[in-house]
Structure 1
Amino acid sequence: MTTQIVILAAGMGSRLGRSLPKPLTELSDGRTIMGQQFDNIHHAFGRDADVTVVVGYKLEHIMEAFPAASFVYNEQYDQTNTSKSLLRALQASGNGGVLWMNGDVVFDPEVLDRVRPLIVRDQSFVTVNTASVSDEEVKYTTSAEGYIDQLSKTVKGGLGEAVGINYVSSRDKAVLIRQLQKVGAQDYFERGIELAIERNGMLVEPLDISDLYAVEIDFAEDLERANLHV
């Protein structure tokens, strides 16, 4: 199985207060955030996994750190959000589905083992944590059939939080690209998913990884929490 994998790493990550791009933040075990992501990818998909990194802010540092990766440039990294970075990556991808992740997520290697069956089925999904429902995080609800219904930070009565590791199937990719083209520059990619569900009937499974760790690093306390696991 050849899986196309994208890491979104174009943003400035100013909330963490570091001079380098946030994915290059060092963890307590000596690896960087993106370094542990590559380790997890290689664990699940092998050393020859097809990885594309969307870069923007201080891109040369990321390109130097991971020379074996492919790169897509979001030249408007300081004016756009993850929706437009994902759009560029999907437009540059080959045939087939795409697994993508935010470049600031520290997560258990077993997460990618768990997602493999859905990728083999070519089923679009969003990984979720049902153990926490924070106001500041992207939350979700489901339809009567169990698929994702709403997906945003403003969801009321959320069943859990989106973790930031997702997959779009080969049959859904064109629809998602169209909706990502329509959303605002400052929208997160979740808005594109939500519109594809609402307007095109895209079926997106919530994949529960609550028993595994996955920490999105926005603030110093997130980094401290992540370092308890690595």
Structure 2
Amino acid sequence: MIRENLDFVEENIRKACERAGRDRSEVTLIAVSKTKPVSDIREAMAYGIKTFGENKVQEIRDKTEEITEPLNWHMIGHLQANKVKYLPGKVCMIHSVDNVKLADEIEKQFAKHDLVADILIEVNMAHEDTKFGLSPDEALGFVREISDREHIRIRGLMTIAPYTEDPESNRVYFKGLRELMNKINAENIPGVKMDTLSMGMTGDYQVAIEEGATFVRVGTGIFGERDYTKS
């Protein structure tokens, strides 16, 4: 099943890039493996997937202990400051930074290991009460505030669009995130040159690619539905 799903997702990514006049190499598929067993991850690895996303620090810790092959692990879920200490050397990017306390803790913990954390600023483009993230109006000021941290590299922006049956309804949020990144880049903040947009999930990643996504986060579309009673 996973192989067939990956073939289907890959074909959709290729077609979306074609429609947008983009090169396929501009988009990285993150296979969201949260709650899924190591056997599923290994099956995806067998078909060439090397980039995986997890929502919980504990799952990253457990899975990286069992899977020692070099993979690109992304922390894509809400991150508590007291869990940051487990991430240096484990993840290649943190997608969900939205407050100064968290940014300072990332700076502190990665400095201990003489590492630089690639991070994305999470923006709540749809202003949903149930979602984390800064409002679009807060993003520029936040980037300015944390831009001088020596062990943080601000790579771009991330958003989680509303769940919808109509992917087109989220186009406005993806377009808005791209325009927000361009606006912040135009400010020429020292040390900040963002090139990454993490947006689009199983239901809407094709629209996200058409609007400039460089990372798409696909879980159910690859691994099937999740059983949260086991998480």
Q: So what's the TM-score if we normalise by structure 1?
A: 0.30
In our comparison, the structure showing a higher alpha carbon Rg is: 2
Higher normalized contact order (CA 8 Å, seq sep 6+, divided by chain length): 1
